[in-house]
Amino acid sequence: MRVDQKKIYQTMESFGTSGAWWAQYVGGFTEQTKEKGVSTREAVAALLFDRQRGIGLTNYRFNLGAGSKESGKGVYWDEYRRAASLEHTPGRYDFDRDRHAVWFLKKAVSLGVEEVVLFCNSPLERLTDNGSAQMTPGKKSNIRPENYRPFAVYCMDIAERFLQDGIPVRVISPINEPQWDWESGQEGCHYEPKEMRALYRVFAEELEKRPALKEVSLGGPESGEWKGRAEEYTEAILRDDVLRRHFKSIDNHSYWSDARDKERFRTWMDETYPDVKLRMSEWCEMVNGSDVSMDSALCLARVLAEDLRILDVVSWQNWVAAAPGGYRDGLVYINRETQEYCETKRLWSFGNFSRFVRPGYVRIGITGDNEEQEKLLPTAFVGGNETGERELVMVFVNEGEEERGFFLSGAADYSRIRIVETSEKNSLVCTQDGIWEQQEIRLSKRSVTTVILNG
């Protein structure tokens, strides 16, 4: 395995997760405790955002609901997928409506989150054509152009209020997976590319009127995949000069996309918009059944490594941080009746990246000496740690049933080594800490391993 510190790729901005829809109830879990003196909500927050006790996420996606929780409208498989609106009446707001989710937002910031994204799945119900946060079957639009501005005003008002409270809102993302129809299951809204561009233009105009939001950018298009119509939706934004000023990146999701899909999208971006950064803003495994084992942990690590290596994403955000089970989505499982929680291995495999690859770290070249080493999906990053030392962080994904070993070249200028492993036996556990003497590095079977060199 060879590190090439002269080969420079993207500069990392964040790793994160979403607060939909669990934060609206877990934020109220104050009584039941798993550890003496620690409420469930405090414990879950620490697992997600604390760098010593958890995985140190620095990005948090806060869901601005459309109000289906208050109205009860629409077809929902799970009542907890309904989301509250923070609007009491037009122009008047009541943050107690979603007080548990707001509590979690503020807690995340207190634990180290540096970047908050306000995202919407649907416009406010009062602004939709059918009065619902879901689409009418057969229709391809659910909001008229005259309602774009009230929608923008709502989002901007909330952003200003949060900023006044010290919440680092950095992105407003009013559209989610616009290519889908969203007729049931959760809040959602379809947009054709022209409609999406028109709505974003109104958001950009409103943003420019608000000096308090000068550091806030627009996010999107939040396409559900890197194939299909992803290029069409991306181009609708980037060929518009006004929108280009307000989009610091293109944010899409990695659902239903394999390595070839990502390679094609990256190639297209390099040919058409080479200076535009990419962010992966939502992904989970999309497999039924609860899983706390290395199976889903390895899947998450593989997709994450692919997105870093192929797409050069500067941010990677898991879909939901907590979930009730029955699906491979949450990093933590929550029992809504007992308020107990259960950690998953995918939480810790995510931590092999997020705890050690910090904002500002730069991805550099690393290549295997043979095909077997390349299967480890190596990624490498350099940056300065808290003590000012230069640090080399490498992450390896060993999906095989056998231990793997290799010697590392190109890193002779470091003096200390730490190895942190997530496997069936360990959950982000330091297995080695000592002098770096160019010794062989060993990776356990079915593991995600972070190797840190300092000095």
Which tens digit of pLDDT belongs to each residue from 190-234?
Answer: 999 999 999 999 999 999 999 999 999 999 999 999 999 999 999
Separation CA 388–CA 406 (nearest Å): 29
Please determine, for residue 22, whether its predicted confidence score (pLDDT) is greater than 70.
yes
* Residue whose token pair is 């556990």: 429
Instruction: State the pLDDT at residue 35.
Output: 66
pLDDT at 36 over 70: no
CB-based contact 67:87 (threshold 8 Å): yes
Could you say which DSSP state residue 211 is in? G
Tens digits of per-residue pLDDT, 139-197? 999 999 999 999 999 999 999 999 999 999 999 999 999 999 999 999 999 999 999 99
For residues 94-113, average pLDDT: 98
- C-beta separation of 58 from 318 below 8 A: no
pLDDT reading at 318 higher than 80: yes
| Cβ–Cβ < 8 Å for 219, 171 | yes
**pLDDT over 80 (residue 241):** yes
Lookup: tokens for 400 = 């095989």
Is 108 in contact with 45 (CB distance < 8 Å)? yes
pLDDT at position 138 over 80: yes
**Model confidence band, residue 291 (pLDDT cutoffs 50, 70, 90):** very high
Q: 34 pLDDT exceeds 90?
A: no
Cβ within 8 Å of residue 221, ≥6 positions away? 175, 178, 196, 233, 234, 236, 237, 250, 251, 252
